[in-house]
Structure 1
Amino acid sequence: MEQAVFTGCQPVNNINVYYEFYPHQTSKKTFVLLHGFLSSTFTFRHLISLLKKEYQVLSIDLPPFGKSAKCNQYVYSYKNLAQTVITLTESLGLKKMTFIGHSMGGQIVLNILHMMPELADKAILLCSSAYLKRFKLPLIISSYIPYFHLFVKYKFARMGVKKNLEDTLYNHAIINDEMINGYLEPFLQDEIFVALTRMIRDREGDLPACILRQIKTPCLLLWGDHDKSMPLKVGEQLNKDLANSELIILKETGHALPEERPIEVFEYIKSFIGSFKTAAD
């Protein structure tokens, strides 16, 4: 029997947020999945297929990515994105969740753990963004130039989806048309580039070390040893700054862990929450 999935765009924090919710008949243990920059729920498709068999799963398209709205009035700061996720989970009646964040999504998770630590029992950070500064002032000022979004679109086109995948994956052999089209689809309309221009202005820097040291939630850090986007040294420093964390390094793996190593990631997640499972269920 096919498991039910509830999908839709819900107005949250003045923007329509797309999400996929997979309830479980017996388990009340809930995982909340937050993707990275220029990505969407699509990046978790393999991991979702594994998690939903045993747990409840909520996967969210962080605005302005994926199928969520692209609104030039929304504030695309990490703090506001974190608040948007918090509000959505509250509207769904979810409590004591385990958050999984990949890349930028990991930084959103860290913001949630800082803002409302009572929401999470544990967190899994997959090659999490950390220690990035705010965009430099000349770029922020340039973002106010009319039609600057066309420059953003041009830069994206030059980079190309396939080239971006090659930069984030160690194993290029897994790149196929389904993967390329899945990541390309949300970028076929100009609205996303207008929103990305706004994000240049709104995105504050990542949480500083002094804040990270205040986070007490148990965190599992999974990192690829060939990660070019967030090098392993970032994970090692994050492991030092978080008070209650464990770092596991995956060999011959790049930045896109949910694409390259979904089965291994799933097994590490199960092991990490194993001692907690009975109480949560």
Structure 2
Amino acid sequence: MLSEEDVNAKFYPCEAGDSEKLFVLIHGFMSWSFSFQSLIPTLVNHAHVLTLDLPGFGRSKKDVKYEFSYEQFTKTVQDMIDRREEHFTDIVPIGHSMGGQIALRLARSNRFVHRVVLLASSGDMQKSSKRLRWASRLPFFDVWLARYVRDRDVSHVLKQVIHDNKKVTTEQIDAYSLPLQENLMYRALSKFIRQREGDLSREELHKITEPVLLLWGENDRIVPVGVGRYLEKELHRAKLKVFPKVGHLLPEEIPSEVGEEIIRFSAGKERSE
């Protein structure tokens, strides 16, 4: 059983007073809760906010005994919700990129989830190939993986995922570089390659009946807007909004706009367009 410290869980009480609404922020692959720092100030004015670092990522404990699957990630997120003394009757999971798959799974298992927000979510990724899963078992695969990742310049990667390169800051470069220095992270990633399921199938998506807000950057080169259109089509009650001149990191590129859309949607006040 993981503790709150093990996953760097942080709870931000609603600044507007008592609330039974909880926003649960779930980060993406090779990311961590830092990615939501600019979004939290808007959300916390309307509800409580919970963030965490999924096992293997960010400042979480890199326990290689953990099962690195979407289902287990979902159970860990649910466990962090259950540990709160507050009673939440309106839980809104907000998943970015890979985190979107966990948000959707949370909707299937938690009766207090009535709405879901997906930010540039993955949607049609298959599980890793048999060849890659086999390779991940080889001795020193994690060493090769560490060398491969560390050889990539973080500032260059950020300029690929953020549309306006001028918005890339030294703080972001330092924050995303920090977890990459932990050797245990690459052992965890090796297991994640083997244990990660594919994204939810069409049949599984069709079973999700909660309203889903899809927010996308028009210039997303990591998860193209076509994935958003696919999810809008396959989810029964989904609505897609695309922001021009925005890349993959919506919570950092346009936090105010994203926050406003989330607040409006979570209150049942979707804008008709």
TM-score (norm 2): 0.93
Which residue, 69, 72, 75 being the options, matches 1:77?
69
Q: 1:175 to 1:263 in 2, by over 3 A?
A: same
Q: How far apart are the structure 1 equivalents of 2:255 and 2:192?
A: 29
Paired residue total: 265
Q: Which is richer in strand?
A: 1
Quote the residue 2:105 is aligned against. Answer: 111
Residues 208-242 of structure 1, C-alpha deviations (whole Å, 9 max, x = no match): 01100100111100011111111111000100111
Instruction: Indicate conservation of the 8 Å contact 2:43/2:263, yes or no.
Output: no
Residues 17-63 of structure 1, C-alpha deviations (whole Å, 9 max, x = no match): 22110112333321000001111110000001221233210011111
- 1:255 counterpart = 2:255: no
Instruction: Indicate conservation of the 8 Å contact 1:127/1:223, yes or no.
Output: yes
The within-5 A match list for 1:59-98 is: 59-93=51-85, 94-95=87-88, 96-98=90-92
Instruction: Indicate conservation of the 8 Å contact 2:163/2:247, yes or no.
Output: yes
- 1:183 counterpart = 2:185: no
- 1:271 counterpart = 2:264: yes
Pairwise CA distance, 1:117: 4.3
Which residue, 117, 120, 133 being the options, matches 2:113?
120
- 1:19 counterpart = 2:9: yes
Secondary structure at 1:271's aligned position in 2?
helix
Instruction: Indicate conservation of the 8 Å contact 1:100/1:125, yes or no.
Output: yes
Residues 167-194 of structure 1, C-alpha deviations (whole Å, 9 max, x = no match): 1110110111111001111121101111
Pairwise CA distance, 1:10: 5.2
Q: Which amino acid aligns with 1:107?
A: Q
The within-5 A match list for 1:210-229 is: 210-229=203-222
Q: How far apart are the structure 2 equivalents of 1:200 and 1:81?
A: 14
- 1:243 counterpart = 2:236: yes
Q: How far apart are the structure 2 equivalents of 1:131 and 1:86?
A: 24
Q: Which amino acid aligns with 2:194?
A: R
Stretch deviating more after TM superposition (52-61 or 32-41):
52-61
Which residue, 194, 205, 224 being the options, matches 1:201?
194
Q: How far apart are the structure 1 equivalents of 2:100 and 2:156?
A: 23
Quote the residue 2:94 is aligned against. Answer: 100
Which residue, 5, 12, 37 being the options, matches 2:29?
37
Instruction: Indicate conservation of the 8 Å contact 1:10/1:18, yes or no.
Output: no
Quote the residue 1:4 is aligned against. Answer: none
- 1:233 counterpart = 2:226: yes
Quote the residue 2:135 is aligned against. Answer: 142
Q: How far apart are the structure 2 equivalents of 1:165 and 1:109?
A: 24
Instruction: Indicate conservation of the 8 Å contact 1:47/1:266, yes or no.
Output: yes
Quote the residue 1:49 is aligned against. Answer: 41
Secondary structure at 2:50's aligned position in 1?
strand
TM-score (norm 1): 0.90
Instruction: Indicate conservation of the 8 Å contact 1:117/1:217, yes or no.
Output: no
Q: How far apart are the structure 2 equivalents of 1:214 and 1:34?
A: 21
Q: How far apart are the structure 2 equivalents of 1:66 and 1:241?
A: 32
Structure 1 residue runs of 5 or longer lacking an equivalent are 1-8, 277-281
Q: How far apart are the structure 2 equivalents of 1:260 and 1:17?
A: 25
Q: How far apart are the structure 2 equivalents of 1:21 and 1:57?
A: 6
